[in-house]
Structure 1
């Protein structure tokens, strides 16, 4: 039964009482009331209650009128059922809110898209809420922030654990913490502390407020027994009403019983108030004016596009209707209640449509997330046997993972199960990936041992004087080194330097012996030394072509001077630096200058059998640079995918395009250099 309907029968009988003049039966006021109550008890039946039969002026409806009334009520009961449901919902909500004065503040706090925030942004948002809002008003916000932080931090831990295991770590030794986690925990701990303090204070206040309201009820009971002027009693009654309204919240489980008891005794006082009809009519008029204002506001809210704001204010209007205002005249009751209930139904219907639209969005998000999970599962079924293939899959999974986190909320009843499916699909991928890389690590450690064996051979023979027997051996282990696959990255540079040092030590010794017996090489060194000294004083003209011809002529002359001893090869580097300086001073295309420099460098490398390692080293270096540039280009092109909705004239996008162009020009140059080396083989 709705709020107004709960009081209708009682209020109707009160209206009847208002038409009866005080009986002149020789009794005191109290005696007259007692007599009237006795008469009321005699006239109660199962269909309706007549509060008081004090004189022959009271009209009791006949049976036909009752039947007609019941038929009309039955006809409209189905129509009113939904309206009654939402009114009951509002009353229950108001009962809960009665325990917490902070609920109004809660509605004013902006609800942000916490699911799209980073870990650091979530920590900052929690700190802002603690700083700027009442702790009792932010519970739903904090709960959402905490849930999102836990989800995203667990995903981060999973990532770090994968990296740890891929690097050969033992799962039992894994541990990870971060400053943002510490920051969030401190803020959340402070929130819990403040909330506990609030509830402890609130509990104390709720109990005291309940005691105060029960005391008001007791005073209401005693009003009808006071032997004083009715105007004085009425004034006392109004004071009690004001005290009731200003008394703070009480425990929600006591709310309905306390209010019903209060309302019951207010009605009893109105029964008593028939002794002074002017006062009661004045109260009826006041209540009618206030209720009409409430109805007008409710009808305005029914046109408000902000559905949730309208519904929250509607709750307040129902609270005012129920708690702050008494009955109105009988002729207005049903009309104004039906108007109020109609406006309530319109607002609630719009709220239901609003929730349905939100549900559609959540359902769409659910479809997106389930599709992402299906894509991850599809990747899990694909077989990969190479590092490059797995790297591609890792990038795909990372993109899907980010898409999952950015897909938005799903229906709350499916949130946990959807998250569980996502975690399981990612776990399966990680298990497969870890199994592959564990096998790859095993193979890399096997390759490491093979290369360590070659290093031992090189170091055992680097000081050998048996050049005829040792030289073929040293060349063979260099060739074998190239055929062995990858080793763990942390060991790669270290063992290469060891191997290179041992081999160079042997071949430098070999070359030193040959150079000692080769006076021609020494003569060539002396000539190049003199030539280099003269070259430093070379004067160029103002014409680019002439200057280029002069520089090339110097390079040609340098080549004719012959080969210098190995221990004097540093002079070739000095010559190259000098030529590079001259070329750089010319106003020429950068790539053209680079190629001239490179050709000059190649000419300085002796391509005899003993010095093939110099070309090998140069070729390996260039291939490594080509791979690095390709990797940088791929990274930049991947970065462009994040700017799909950004105009090409955006400065950041322009910069990325320019970087890609620069790297592609560099790649072209390195490939040209590699081709030059291939031509020498």
Structure 2
């Protein structure tokens, strides 16, 4: 139910209707809902103005904040109106073009009528009829004359041909079938769910009816009466729809008149007790909910009824506002207390000791909750300032983590650059220019500069990077002259041990490496035992 939605939802619903492909067929519904929405916005604006008058600390200038979707709704309505204008202009242009085309077809048909019959005359006529049917409507001022000329020429053609009667009857039977199909579609519209959509479809059926030629004489009147009866049934549904809506608006009027009688005494209410003001305010707000839920009333009575209601509503809150003006001293005291807590929170934000700052924030947050209300116009401002100071303390670990991750990202990029550099040097080795032990040690020393330090705790290399580096260094030794395979293996093992010691979790790395070596030794011992068993068997 549109009336049950809040203003934001109503605006979004209207935007959805306006953006739908079939929006122009539902224009009456859109216009009705738009008027209802505008009335609701006006009521909300009046309520906002009333609320402003109730608050002694509110700004003197009135400012009403429309729904967030108001701008989008205005744009959609503007687009809708412009689209309708464009469609009307395009329709006029299309009808003018159609008139030109049909005049050309009439010239061709007149030539065919005045020419002698040939073997392809019938085919030409069928093609002309098909082209005529495919051509859309023409301007209303030319429609009847064009239609009469077309059918007059057809009658002349059939009269001039030897098969006039046979072709005429065949054509009329086909016209009868086409009109019977239109009648069936019109009768089916009686059960269509949307009355506006049904009316649009009926209009198109009437347009199609005008472009279908005559039917056999005995069927002309029965078919027309069936089509007319189906059309009248649709228009009757429209009348019933309007009558039901009018009756509902009258019922809504009676409901709102009764609610107005309950609201008018509030304009004279006065008391010196806070609880009574609050109780009567709650009662008035409940009546307001009933008022808003009552729906639309006849337009002739709507303005006067709303004026009486909102005048009484505003008078009540003016009296209440005058009463509560004397109660602001407590709110000002609370405001000063909260300013003191804000200063403590902001001082904690600058404290380098996180634990001490966190303890301070937790304490002032508890004290903040125990302090009462402050003036409304400053409540949001001081809350945002207090919350910003608290968040500044609690977000400190996240900022440190982000900085550490940034340093790790930089270290990872540097690691890739160093690996590419080592790979290029290994690829450049050849028997003519082999590697050297000094070069091997220089590469190892250069790689060692990537290790994490106290100044750069987020630096260091990855496990994958270490594996790639050791593989490249093995290839380097393969291209180094003057060393034996045992020397190569010893150098690589020493380099691996040195790299393990440099890792942040060195002990765990050594443990994993030891486990891997023990597993390799066990596998070799198993292989030796298997070979010995085979030798003994064959021996």
Secondary structure class of the residue paired with 2:284: helix
Q: CA deviation at 1:406?
A: 1.6
Secondary structure class of the residue paired with 1:224: helix
CA distance in 1, matches of 2:9, 2:168: 60
**Does residue 227 of structure 2 align to residue 340 of structure 1?**
yes
Correspondent of 1:206 among 83, 92, 102: 92
**Does residue 158 of structure 2 align to residue 271 of structure 1?**
no
Correspondent of 1:490 among 331, 334, 341: 331
Secondary structure class of the residue paired with 2:278: helix
Q: Give the alignment of 1:123-134 within 5 angstroms.
A: 123-129=11-17, 132-133=20-21
Q: CA deviation at 1:354?
A: 4.4
Cα separation, partners in 2 of 1:429 and 1:218, compared to 1, 3 Å: same
Corresponding residue for residue 424 of structure 1 = 308
Correspondent of 2:48 among 144, 160, 184: 160
CA distance in 1, matches of 2:146, 2:50: 65
Correspondent of 2:10 among 122, 127, 134: 122
CA distance in 2, matches of 1:134, 1:341: 27
CA distance in 2, matches of 1:300, 1:177: 48
Cα separation, partners in 2 of 1:270 and 1:378, compared to 1, 3 Å: farther
CA distance in 2, matches of 1:261, 1:149: 46
Contact 2:50 2:317 in 1 (8 A): no
Contact 1:307 1:350 in 2 (8 A): no
Q: CA deviation at 1:141?
A: 4.9
Q: CA deviation at 1:135?
A: 5.5
Corresponding residue for residue 414 of structure 2 = none
**Does residue 188 of structure 2 align to residue 291 of structure 1?**
no
**Does residue 205 of structure 2 align to residue 317 of structure 1?**
yes
Secondary structure class of the residue paired with 2:106: helix
Summarize deviations over 1:568-606 as a string: whole Å, max 9, x none: xxxxxxxxxxxxxxxxxxxxxxxxxxxxxxxxxxxxxxx
Q: CA deviation at 1:397?
A: 2.5
CA distance in 1, matches of 2:337, 2:187: 84
Corresponding residue for residue 479 of structure 1 = none
Corresponding residue for residue 503 of structure 2 = none
**Does residue 144 of structure 2 align to residue 260 of structure 1?**
yes
Cα separation, partners in 2 of 1:326 and 1:230, compared to 1, 3 Å: farther
Summarize deviations over 1:139-184 as a string: whole Å, max 9, x none: 4454445434433333333333333332325775222326x33x32
Secondary structure class of the residue paired with 1:177: coil
Contact 1:223 1:233 in 2 (8 A): no
Summarize deviations over 1:281-311 as a string: whole Å, max 9, x none: 2211111222233334445555x37583665
Q: Give the alignment of 1:149-228 within 5 angstroms.
A: 149-169=37-57, 172-177=60-65, 180-181=67-68, 183-193=69-79, 195-196=81-82, 199-200=85-86, 203-204=89-90, 206-217=92-103, 219-220=105-106, 223-226=109-112, 227-228=114-115
CA distance in 2, matches of 1:132, 1:192: 15
Q: CA deviation at 1:265?
A: 1.0
Contact 1:126 1:145 in 2 (8 A): yes
CA distance in 1, matches of 2:233, 2:15: 39
Secondary structure class of the residue paired with 1:408: coil
CA distance in 2, matches of 1:197, 1:398: 42
CA distance in 2, matches of 1:129, 1:435: 43
Secondary structure class of the residue paired with 2:35: helix
Contact 2:172 2:216 in 1 (8 A): yes
The alignment yields a C-alpha RMSD, in angstroms, of: 3.8
Contact 2:269 2:316 in 1 (8 A): no
Corresponding residue for residue 649 of structure 1 = none
Contact 1:209 1:247 in 2 (8 A): no
CA distance in 1, matches of 2:142, 2:82: 26
Q: Give the alignment of 1:398-437 within 5 angstroms.
A: 398-410=285-297, 414-415=298-299, 417-437=301-321
CA distance in 2, matches of 1:351, 1:136: 18
Q: Give the alignment of 1:507-656 within 5 angstroms.
A: none
CA distance in 2, matches of 1:135, 1:340: 28
Q: CA deviation at 1:132?
A: 4.6
Secondary structure class of the residue paired with 2:215: coil
Cα separation, partners in 2 of 1:149 and 1:292, compared to 1, 3 Å: closer
TM-score by length of 2: 0.52
Contact 1:126 1:187 in 2 (8 A): yes
Correspondent of 2:267 among 360, 376, 380: 380
Corresponding residue for residue 147 of structure 1 = 35
Secondary structure class of the residue paired with 1:365: helix
Contact 1:307 1:354 in 2 (8 A): no
Corresponding residue for residue 476 of structure 2 = none
Contact 1:166 1:434 in 2 (8 A): yes
CA distance in 2, matches of 1:305, 1:193: 29
Contact 2:260 2:309 in 1 (8 A): yes
Q: CA deviation at 1:268?
A: 1.4
Q: CA deviation at 1:364?
A: 1.8
Cα separation, partners in 2 of 1:333 and 1:428, compared to 1, 3 Å: same
Q: CA deviation at 1:326?
A: 0.7
Correspondent of 1:356 among 224, 232, 243: 243
CA distance in 2, matches of 1:352, 1:131: 28
Correspondent of 1:369 among 256, 266, 276: 256
Secondary structure class of the residue paired with 2:40: helix
